[in-house]
Amino acid sequence: MFNSKAYALGANRSCIRELFEYGRSRAAVVGEENVLDFSLGNPSIPAPQAVEEAIREILRQTPSVEVHGYTPAGGDMAARDAIARELNRRYDWDVTPQELFLGCGAAPELIAVFRALAVPGGKILAIAPYFPEYAPFVEESGLEFGVVPAQEPDFQIDMEALEALVTKNTQAVIVNSPNNPSGVVYSRETLQKLGALLEEKSREYGHPIYIVSDEPYRELVYDGTEVPFVPAIYRDTIICYSYSKSLSLPGERIGYIYVPQKATDGAALYAAVAGAARSIGHVCAPSLFQKVIARCTQIPPDLDSYDKNRRTLYEALVAAGYQVAKPQGAFYLFVKAPEGDGEAFSQRAKEKDLLIVPGKDFGCPGYCRLCYCVPYEKIQKSIPIFRELIGKTH
Amino acid sequence: MFNSKAYALGANRSCIRELFEYGRSRAAVVGEENVLDFSLGNPSIPAPQAVEEAIREILRQTPSVEVHGYTPAGGDMAARDAIARELNRRYDWDVTPQELFLGCGAAPELIAVFRALAVPGGKILAIAPYFPEYAPFVEESGLEFGVVPAQEPDFQIDMEALEALVTKNTQAVIVNSPNNPSGVVYSRETLQKLGALLEEKSREYGHPIYIVSDEPYRELVYDGTEVPFVPAIYRDTIICYSYSKSLSLPGERIGYIYVPQKATDGAALYAAVAGAARSIGHVCAPSLFQKVIARCTQIPPDLDSYDKNRRTLYEALVAAGYQVAKPQGAFYLFVKAPEGDGEAFSQRAKEKDLLIVPGKDFGCPGYCRLCYCVPYEKIQKSIPIFRELIGKTH
């Protein structure tokens, strides 16, 4: 007499986790250096030195009961204030601390937003390729999950396909740019077209269709690529942000939700997000790290090592004849399986101790995802294997 | 078009929070020292020195990507191992690290367990007086919430009332001892009777009725009072633990769930709890504090100041003629309103800048809760006011 859906979610690990754990056990057999594990998006660059310094300073300067005590549910005001100021400086915008809700990373933040938008029959759309956890997050929040097919080969948004899927039940469209798994950044033009379409559809159906912008990779971009600030393009945008990647703090579970007051029903929506967070056990974001964020929100990540990996791998794959959308952000690269079957390709790679995740769960079964946040030597080691897998022998 | 239930949860703050925030604003007017705020259970003793030392040592000894990186969803093995060893040492038991699931504090842990037990028609019982958040936690998990009336004046468990409420739909009974709000510790005899009753009912209905033991106050006991280890009394017990109170880390959101393998469906239930946690956005417990716990799980809280407050307040209230169940644990005291109406009593106290929470939301409308985790001077200042409120003028 237990919840069989919860059991299935717990017993069937995600394909990513499964591959990662296979890698761990395989490393015990053949040696760490011989397993080329490109499965998991675990940042490989350390947190900025300023994070450690902030922790030490906070412990020195602030009384323990304040450092580790409860904060308001929406977060410490100093942290919210620092985040708002940084967003306004960067995007010339008007974020206020009251519009921010500090959360425990993108996962519970997205769920709080989905639950806040959960009305009977409501539906949330993701755009392929997409982060697989969106599906259980949306469905367990009581909404229907739909997927807009991918636009190949550039992985921008197929507006016709999207338009065909929007109905009166559509509550929101998830935007994830820089994208996991493709590394593609949606262009300003793409986002403007999306905004125009959703505005029209919102008018047509008489209720807002929100953009839920999932932005853990916003700061991870290369070649000076622009990541447009979505609320400045489309008013009814809610942001879910995480410091997991930008400050290399994935295990610390800290980020924020931005619910603009000027979005339709903005104030009520903020309350609904807070209530939904409460209903999934949110009390406050981890308090020490709230104080760290207050001091470190303006620190950019040091992307040199990711960028070197990205360029090396991308150029080698293209030279070998692979089809890859050029990754401009995050630390992922989405490669088309030569024979068109991502699972078979992943399996062939696995036999050579190269671990890459089949694209099926990302909504693109013909592809595989590569996380290149690994030591550079592993990138180098992988190249001859990738060449071999596509039939290049020299 | 948003979720009106989530909105209500977010817009209507809990009565505790409301009173606390009134206290903040009132302090700005009459001065911090003149507001006797007994509303919120925010630990007033600092975290043990060993916690700070552990943080510094971890930062010094462990690479950043390991300190702040993702851990397995169930938690770092070193932390789980340390917790298991400490439990076994203390209770002479057989906890294994694989039976522990590190969570972000009692709130999301309880919700994960409730969701794991959510079957159609399922019901969870709490025993009055009870922590008010149980109600939304249970209901938002898709279960019915029921309350066993309080056994006055000792606030042990009224077994007849409980028996009358157990049906074939009962999935679990929540046990919270030391209790919030009464401070009462269930005796071994009480727990044995409860265990015998639930065993009989489980047999009768052909499925287990679990005890969900919510134990954030387990280490906060006085006068050498015994807090029996519930799984040793009743096999089908799941523990939700938090370090919020025992290590004074309420804002850091760290604790664990113990799902014994030998409980009925133990292994499947652990998977269901893990899946339910995933469905509410659990990725891992905050990683730095997992490592802190690995080093500090055996450290007892320093309860001297709470105990002094407790004795002073309890004795003064009894001497003034109040009816109070003797608090043996936690940092709460549950006092009967002289006129039998907790809300009126709270209101009268509020007019004298003494903030105490009406018992209605705890399932006992004739009472008020006092959190005595405040500076001792505020305890002293409150005594003449309590005497005045019951009509004692000298």
What is the C-alpha separation between A201 and A215, in angstroms, rounded?
24
B45/A65 CB distance under 8 A: yes
- Pure H helices in chain B: 4-11, 15-30, 49-61, 64-67, 77-91, 106-116, 134-140, 159-165, 188-205, 230-233, 266-279, 287-296, 304-320, 342-350, 376-389
Q: Is the Cβ–Cβ distance between A181 and A131 less than 8 Å?
A: yes
Q: Is the Cβ–Cβ distance between A254 and A282 less than 8 Å?
A: no
Residue B275: the pLDDT is 96
A64/B70 CB distance under 8 A: no
Phi, psi angles (nearest 5°) of residue B73: -55, -40
Nearest to B11 among A59, A252, A271 (CB): A271
Nearest to B251 among A46, A69, A136 (CB): A69
A3/B65 CB distance under 8 A: no
| Residues B233-267: tens digit of each pLDDT | 999 999 999 999 999 999 999 999 999 999 999 99
A69/B275 CB distance under 8 A: no
Q: Is the Cβ–Cβ distance between B308 and B321 less than 8 Å?
A: no
Residue B322 has pLDDT above 90, yes or no: yes
Residue B394 has pLDDT above 80, yes or no: no
| A276/chain B closest Cα distance in angstroms | 5
A3/B117 CB distance under 8 A: yes
What's the pLDDT band for B223 if we cut at 50, 70, 90? very high
Nearest to A68 among B8, B251, B280 (CB): B251
Which residue, among B68, B243, B269, would best test binding to A if mutated, counting the most A CBs under 10 Å from its CB?
Answer: B68
Nearest to A108 among B275, B281, B288 (CB): B281
| The pTM of the whole model exceeds 0.90 | yes
Q: Is the Cβ–Cβ distance between A232 and A213 less than 8 Å?
A: no
In B, which residues are within 8 Å of A7 by CB distance? 116, 268, 271-272, 275
| A14/chain B closest Cα distance in angstroms | 11
Nearest to A287 among B56, B252, B282 (CB): B252
What average pLDDT score do residues B372-381 get?
Answer: 95
B117/A253 CB distance under 8 A: no
Q: So what's the ipTM on this one?
A: 0.95
Residue B348 has pLDDT above 80, yes or no: yes
Q: What is the DSSP letter of A188?
A: H
Q: For a pLDDT cut of 90, what percent of chain A falls above it? A: 94
Task: Compute the count of residue pairs across chains A and B with CB atoms less than 8 Å apart.
Answer: 261
Along chain A (394 residues), what's the average pLDDT of each consecutive run of 10 residues?
92 84 91 93 90 97 95 95 98 98 98 98 98 96 97 97 98 98 98 98 98 97 97 98 96 98 97 97 97 96 94 98 96 96 97 97 97 95 97 75
**Nearest-by-CA chain A residue for B138:** A279
Q: Is the Cβ–Cβ distance between A299 and A247 less than 8 Å?
A: yes
What is the C-alpha separation between A356 and A343, in angstroms, rounded?
10
Long-range contacts of B71-74 (CB under 8 A, 24+ apart): B71/A251, B71/B102, B71/B284, B71/B285, B71/B287, B71/B290, B72/B284, B73/B101, B73/B274, B73/B277, B73/B278, B73/B282, B73/B283, B73/B284, B74/B100, B74/B101, B74/B102, B74/B274
| A190/chain B closest Cα distance in angstroms | 26
Query: Average pLDDT of chain B?
Result: 96
Residue B390 has pLDDT above 90, yes or no: yes
